[in-house]
A = this chain, B = another copy of it.
Amino acid sequence: MIVGIPREIKLQEHRVGMTPAGVRTLVEDGHQVLVEHGAGLGSGLGDTAYAQAGASLVEESAELYATAQLVVKVKEPLPPEYPLLRAGQLLFTYLHLAPEPILTEALLASGCTAIAYETVTAADGNLPLLTPMSEIAGRMAPQVGAHWLQKGQGGKGVLLAGAPGVRPGRVVILGAGAVGSNALRIAVGMGADVTVLDIDPARLTALDEHYGNRIHTLAANSQSIEEEVPHADLLIGAVLVAGARAPRLVPR
């Protein structure tokens, strides 16, 4: 199969759809991989690394889309990319189509087969292609929150870690899935006083077994949320709303 890795054109998107290691695995399995010039630069992966892994470098995205049977991207296609998609082509990327009717129409019109990473579901209900992003988002959340809590950033001047003899900051995490449990881990590591709420007792039990008295677990319902949220120095929302766009961690 001919697999194409275009350069992402969305603003502030530094990721790339495949690393050189991934390219090499495909090539070892007999596939041909096209990589657009500079596709990996935002992630510190130069063209040479891709070439050494067996990829053919392509100067223009139009050429890549015209040849590739499977296009592996990160972000949804943007308008300049709509006309490049074609019938019979496979597109593999994050799509988050719910709030994007124009994109949806463009995909339908192109005749391509588009598979949204965030919808790939394993037999046990896990989302194997969404999970890695959730892990990263969850791990970043306390770090970003800690930044905005700094006095110099307009925050309350609360240090999550506290200090010996001084209370730590209070972090409340709504949801104990992939985002929430990764946020929990870093918030605990930063020394915060963390409370996590979830509607699934089995998740709370699993976290309770792992963290013991380093965290508080609470059954999530209207009342417990109303009681906890006002005392939070940092509130991390980590509930997956199916079909919704990924949340933004920094203010616009």
Contacts and interface: CB of A to CB of B under 8 A. Distances in A.
Interface residues of A, number: 68
Given A14-B151, A189-B191, A213-B193, A44 B223 contact: no
A128 B217 CA distance: 17
Q: Report the copy number of this chain in the oligomer.
A: 6
A222 to B, nearest CB: 6
A16 B241 CA distance: 33
Given A21-B221, A185-B191, A218-B165, A152 B201 contact: no
Q: A12, A126, A136: which has the most chain B beta carbons within 10 Å? A: A136
Contact of A25 (B14, B43, B143, B221): B221
A188 B189 contact: yes
Contacts of A191: 139, 185-186, 189, 212-213
Contacts of A43: 157
A168 interface: yes
